[in-house]
Amino acid sequence: MTSRKTADLLVLLRSWLFSFGWSSLLCLAAVPLHAQAAELSKAVKEFVRVAGPRVVLTHVRVIDGAGGPAVEDQNVVIENGKIAAIEKGADVAGEATGTVLDLRGYSVIPGIVGMHNHLFYIVRPNLNAQRHFDDPVLVPQMTFSAPRLYLAGGVTTMRTTGSVEPYADLNLKKEIDAGKLPGPHIDVTGPYLEGATSYFIQMPHLKNAEDARQLVEYWAGQGVTSFKAYMNITRDELKAAIEAAHKHGIKVTGHLCSVTYQEAAELGIDDLEHGFYVNTQLDPGKKPDACTESAGEYTLEHMEAGGTEAKELIATLVKHHVAVTSTLGVLERDAGGGRPPARQAALDAMTPEAREDFLVLRQQRAQAPKGDPTKLWKNNLALEREFVAAGGLLLAGPDPTGAGDVVPGFGDQREMELLVEAGFSPVEAIKIATLNGAVYLGREKEIGSVAAGKNADMVVVKGDPSKQISDVENVEIVFKDGVGYDSKKLLESVRGDYGKY
Ligand SMILES: [Zn+2]
């Protein structure tokens, strides 16, 4: 029964309009690379559009990511990978003072800090038109395509949020940080902390609390910087894992089912995935340490924002400093009809096989919904808002699994659009997707907002996402540590690869 629900979550899909507004920045000049934090390889330099010890973005609209209003006509000065100054817009002579970009009509937002950003894809063997597929479902690594797609979409820092190939993820992080491969900075999550029964053949199936402790100890030693508990973990195992992780200063998140949100908060968990979709506290027949048939849908359907149960739960989460990660992109398909079709650029990133599978899967849900999809969606959006209003830290991530159309990078942009649908203002949505993630990671002094002294991790987009959030799709250049990557070139380099490697 848990496996049915898991499959269900995996096929949630959403789609959206392709409206990439590529346009050229006429003032860009090719500039040789100068000393950066890491010497970039030839393969990475290929994607660099602008770099140098000093780069000035002139006449740009600044959306700081800290929730402040957009500020028109600013100059942002980048020096040696950092934001050196943000000043009143002015013309600056080129050459002598470094690289100068005229960004009239463009905005900068902070680099996205993606908090549910996998490096894998879901494969359903022998999927047919009747939607049947054979077990086991597999999650092949997307070590090549995913990092490029994330960076192209504006993600400069990401958490892997559950790994099936932790060695690959750890080594990938090393290669990216050394400048050998393109991609965002990575918070590598260890192997899933999953209980003895699991739908996923690639996850560890913990035997007991000691097993959980040993797993955490081993992978903390290998260098992972976060952990994620999964749907069938027991309270004892979760407790042991949290204690071991916290000893190393490492945080634990969870896509839960067997353990309720309330229980997990009291055990000291740091974050909960999928908004309020997978809390099982009101589910019929809920037994301790066991997932339910409903896997949280019943609870969500019966927990309305403003109600006693919602208030109590949110108060507990806030009191225990538990963050919540909104993953609206992967849940959007449940919102009911009228959703936009898949965005063409995202479809273009997929292999023909992945695209075909997606078209089969989009036809319907894997099974009849247990609750009213519209009500679930509505309740979740309202609960996420109430959580933030109560002082809770809401994070954002796309969870690129689903039916295959939640594609790295594109999904991160879509998340911000859906947060606006939830009722957040555009600048609040941008903050949730940027600064809030940095705060959770304890890195808010270096990243997460456009501010003097911080790392120059910024996304240049055409238009004004503070007025029209969908302008976050119009990514032109992504600065990471002061190096400006060409979004379009990165996308072209993985065209047709997502779903393959
Ligand atoms: Zn996930």
Q: 């504006």: which residue's tokens?
A: 154
More confident residue, 470 or 198: 470
201: how many CB neighbours lie within 10 A of its CB? 12
Distance 452 CA to ligand 1 centre (A): 34
**Greater model confidence, 26 or 367:** 367
Q: Kindly give the distance from the C-alpha atom of residue 401 to the centroid of ligand 1, in angstroms, as a whole number.
A: 7
The 10s digit of each residue's pLDDT in 111-134 is 999 999 999 999 999 999 888 999
Q: Which amino acid is at 116?
A: H
Query: What pLDDT does 201 receive?
Result: 94
pLDDT > 70: what percent of the chain?
90
Q: What is the pLDDT of residues 417-439, one digit of tens each?
A: 999 999 999 999 999 999 999 99
Distance 275 CA to ligand 1 centre (A): 12
Give 498 or 198, the one with higher predicted confidence: 498
161 C-alpha vs ligand 1 centroid, how far in Å?
6
Q: Which of these ranges, 28-42, 101-115, 407-421, has the smallest mean pLDDT?
A: 28-42
Which of the residue ranges 28-42, 63-77, 78-92, 271-285 would you say has the lowest mean pLDDT? 28-42
| 8 Å CB contact between 392 and 323 | yes
Measured N-to-C along each axis, helices 410-421 and 145-153 cross at an angle, to the nearest 10 degrees, of 50
Residues with a beta carbon under 5 angstroms from ion ligand 1: 399
Q: Are 375 and 271 in contact (CB under 8 A)?
A: no
Query: CA angle, 135 as apex, 231 and 359 as ends, to 5°?
Result: 90
pLDDT, residue 367, reads: 57
In the reported structure, the alpha carbon of residue 399 is separated from the centroid of ligand 1 by a whole-number distance in angstroms of 5
3-state SS track over 424-442: CCHHHHHHHHCHHHHHHCC
Q: How far is the CA of 265 from the centre of ligand 1 (A)?
A: 19
Closest by CA position to 326, among listed 416, 264, 239: 416
Environment class of 29 (CB within 10 Å of its CB; exposed 0-12, middle 13-18, buried 19+): exposed
CA of 198 to the centre of ligand 1 (A): 15
Alpha helices by DSSP H, 390-434: 410-421, 426-433
Residue 422 CA, ligand 1 centroid: distance in Å: 21
- State in Å: Cα 118 to ligand 1 middle: 7
Indicate if the alpha-carbon torsion angle 188, 190, 193, 198 is positive or negative: positive
**Beta-sheet strand order (sheet of 394-396):** 226-229, 251-254, 271-272, 323-326, 394-396
- Say how many Å lie between the CA of residue 367 and the centre of ligand 1: 20
Q: Name the residue among 111, 126, 104 with its Cα closest to residue 58.
A: 104
Answer for the pair 463, 471: CB distance below 8 angstroms, yes or no.
yes
- The DSSP symbol for 333 reads G
Measure 50 CA to ligand 1 centroid, in angstroms.
34
CA of 230 to the centre of ligand 1 (A): 10
Q: What's the 397 CA to ligand 1 centre distance in angstroms? A: 9
Task: Give the Å distance between the CA of 87 and the centre of ligand 1.
Answer: 40
Quick check: 263 pLDDT over 60? yes
Tell me whether strands 226-229 and 458-462 are parallel, antiparallel or unpaired. unpaired
CA–centroid distance, 357 to ligand 1, in Å, is 19
> Tens digit of pLDDT for each residue in 12-31?
322 222 222 223 333 343 34
For tokens 């800290």, name the residue. 66
The helix/strand/coil state of 191 is strand
180 Cα–ligand 1 center, Å: 27
> For residues 128 and 135, what is the distance between their CA atoms, to the nearest angstrom?
13
**Residue 357, helix vs strand vs coil:** helix
For the chain, give the percent of residues with pLDDT over 90.
Answer: 83
Instruction: Kindly report which listed range (11-15, 96-100, 212-216, 417-421) carries the lowest average pLDDT score.
Output: 11-15
For residue 167, how far is its CA from the centre of ligand 1 (angstroms)? Answer: 18
Look at residues 107, 111, 61 and name the one whose alpha carbon lies nearest to residue 458. Answer: 111
Q: Report the sign of the C-alpha dihedral through residues 334, 335, 339, 344, in that order.
A: negative
How many angstroms does the Cα of residue 330 sit away from the middle of ligand 1? Answer: 9
* Separation of CA 162 and ligand 1 centre (Å): 7
What is the Cα–Cα distance from 15 to 347, expressed in whole angstroms? Answer: 10
Helix/strand/coil for 22: coil
Cα of 57 from ligand 1 centre, angstroms: 36
Kindly give the distance from the C-alpha atom of residue 379 to the centroid of ligand 1, in angstroms, as a whole number: 21
Q: What is the pLDDT, as a whole number, of residue 4?
A: 35
Output the DSSP codes for 39-82: PPPHHHHTTEEE--SEEEEEEEEE--SSSPPPEEEEEEEEETTE
Mean pLDDT of the chain: 91
CA of 58 to the centre of ligand 1 (A): 39
